[in-house]
Amino acid sequence: MWRCGVSSLKPNCYFHCKRNYLSLSKSNLTKHPITKYSNYSSLTMTTITESDVGILCFISNLPGFRGILKQRYSDFIVNEVDTEGNVVHLTSLDAPPEEGETKISDQLNKNYASEIEKFRSLACEIDVDQLEAFINQITSGSEEDISPIVLSPDSDKSHRTAMHNFFKENLRFLVTDTVDGPDSSSKCIRVRLNSGNKNKGRNSNKRKRGDRPYDSRGSSHWPAHLGNFLRFHLFKENKDTQEALGLIGKMLGIQPRSFGFAGTKDKRSVSTQRVTVFKQYASRLAALNDRLIGIKVGDFCYVKDDLLLGQLLGNRFTIVLRGVVADSEDTIQASAESLGRHGFINYFGLQRFGSGSIPTHHIGATLLRGEWKAAASTILDPREGERNIISKAREYYKQTGDIDGTLKQLPRHLVAERAMLQCLKKSPGNYLQALKAIPRTLRMMYVHSYQSYLWNHAASVRVQKYGSSEVVLGDLVYSKGDDAEKTEVVPPEHEDNSLEDAYDCGQLDEISGKDLPLEKNNLVKVITASDISTGNYNIEDVVLPMTGSRIIYPMNEVADVYRDMAKKDGISLTGSVHNIKEFSIISMTGSYRRVFQKPIDFRWDLLSYTDGNLALSETDIDKIAKTKPVNPVKEENPTNGTEGEEPFNHLEQLESFEDEKKFSTDDNEVEVSREAEPPQVHSPPDLNSLEPQKALKLAFTLPASCYATMAIRELLKTSTSVAFHKTLNQ
């Protein structure tokens, strides 16, 4: 039975910082600057800790307790909340009937003698015979793989165009593309079955190993009554969003840019989100469900517009903390109720700063200083903690400078590195151009990471100096409608993004919307003595700026954090040493972020279990399986959970966060951490024991851009790094 997050505790007026963290007073801000390196390639460091990026304080002074985060992927369930406030679930795997496909597939049942005769006027006899045999194989319902046919070499482009048009006009169940001929001066037309059609050969859509992906640019005969985009719900387990869509795109033979989505979801989780794809039939995607591993698609419908980054209100989380050990159940209850009542400090989580041994905000600082060669070297050079195949490729390039050889070794998911190397091959020594070759979404991540680094430290100073219970003189707040004070008008954070290419999504998180209309302006004001006396504002209204040219800073000591830390890193917040706008803070608008965040529709329950291999939450696939058998997701042994959640409508509560709406990754966790963890008071339970163990199950919604791991951190008072929680499993 869920318990609501309502507490009889008095409002907590205290804050609590880890005792092993350094104080953040102005006098010792010099202890944590990002050192300015003349050559970043010589930099070696271990993975960052929470204190390195300013995650220092807690709201409550309650004791923490032991709990294992993400022991199973189903212990961390994420469901997107759409712009109407509806929680997105996968409820059906079936494709609706589609007239467009029916009309095309009906062609398989007719006689093609007249079309063959028309083709005879364009092609040689060999090609005519080949095409006729190909059509007969298709219409016969052969169980064998139906391989493409390649027509005779043709060096006449206008004739090839006429051939392509013939197939488009007369044989719509076939598609063509152009491939290289036997010599450099000729090309050949390849003909294949349109894989969007269902035919009787069960393996006809399989592409043989080694065959090149087909060129797919959408259908010129797309039915007028259907929207140009197919929207579907993507369910995935232990896959990040880009990885899942990359696999689906590869099976469909389409480019990653064909997909649209509102935000990425955590890899180490079970998640459901909306996705759009350009001019693809639902039956094509539904047919992939039997072949996809760790992924399911369903709830198909056709829509006019594609999804853009940031078009969501937030995410609904269902989280299970296993192996819970505390002084008493009262400790757990007090902590859970405090989280529901007071919330948590809205830090950018560790995921914001990258999963490698070189934090992304270090690279951002280098870019802001205009050190192009150093930034390029930092991205390309060997680093600690990477897989052997990547380390070898990086070391090979550092030792030899052989770009072609490095590209052969470097995994394709390292998009930034590959883009830079390809550019350096064309323009040796042009490091700025190489950096600009990185997809914009990815390269801007570095600078935004540095902004987040400053924000986190400022938030810690705000809590350390002024507490977490009330507004103080000089605070910044979102202005309320009746406030007559003059306000500063600043648009929402708006980091332009593109989906030019696939990128390593594990390095990305909560990037703001792409080409979204500015629905309303944020009105931000400085708290005055009059505001404090009237009590118009409370602690939940307090915001801090993300640095930029159109923001204002608090009129108290918190403002010094931004200037002092940036100065120590050799960065000016009011000028630039170079004229490259995208790598300059003064060319960015800036934005504001709430310092404190309460979980919405917060529920919790304390469970008992004996088998650590059994799921304690129901996934969407579990719910579908109750009504209709489905092939299980193969990444994890599926078990129907004992607890479920009904969808909530969060529109009313989330609307107030529209001004902070961002593209969220909801905690793509850092894979490796060498953080010096605080000593653990409690001994871990034997996970294989049949003795009853406790689990704390939480369900809550957060606005886009908020990190669920920061809520868990407030609850447990321990590190949120993946490596730390892995040690609890040992």
Cite the active site residues: 266
Residues 6+ apart with CB under 8 A from 718: 64, 66, 677, 678, 680, 724
- State the DSSP code for 542: E
Distance CA 271, CA 237 (A): 7
Residues 116/133, Cβ–Cβ less than 8 Å: no
Distance CA 569, CA 35 (A): 6
Distance CA 721, CA 670 (A): 6
**Consecutive H or E run containing 546:** strand 542-546
Residues 265/80, Cβ–Cβ less than 8 Å: yes
Distance CA 383, CA 391 (A): 7
One-character DSSP codes across 205-232:
TPPPTTPPPPP----TT--TTS-SEEEE
Task: Give me the sign of the Cα torsion angle 239, 240, 245, 250.
Answer: negative
| Phi and psi torsions of 680, nearest 5° | -95, 130
| Phi and psi torsions of 174, nearest 5° | -115, 150
**Consecutive H or E run containing 270:** strand 270-278
| Phi and psi torsions of 284, nearest 5° | -65, -45
Distance CA 710, CA 719 (A): 9
- Rounded to 10 degrees, the C-alpha dihedral 236/717/646/95 comes to -10
Distance CA 335, CA 23 (A): 25
Query: Tokens at residue 10, please?
Result: 């008095």
| Phi and psi torsions of 143, nearest 5° | -85, -5
CA distance between the termini of the chain: 30
Surface-to-core class of residue 207, CB atoms within 10 Å of its CB (0-12 exposed, 13-18 middle, 19+ buried): middle
Surface-to-core class of residue 563, CB atoms within 10 Å of its CB (0-12 exposed, 13-18 middle, 19+ buried): middle
Residues 550/16, Cβ–Cβ less than 8 Å: no
Residues recorded for the chain: 730
Residues 6+ apart with CB under 8 A from 321: 67, 68, 69, 75, 695, 696, 697, 698, 712, 715, 716
Residues 714/344, Cβ–Cβ less than 8 Å: yes
**What is the identity of the amino acid at 469?**
S
| Phi and psi torsions of 491, nearest 5° | -70, 160
Residues 632/293, Cβ–Cβ less than 8 Å: no
Residues 309/512, Cβ–Cβ less than 8 Å: yes
Distance CA 271, CA 267 (A): 9
Residues 6+ apart with CB under 8 A from 164: 176, 189
Query: Tokens at residue 558, please?
Result: 């918190």
- Is 502 strand, coil or helix? coil
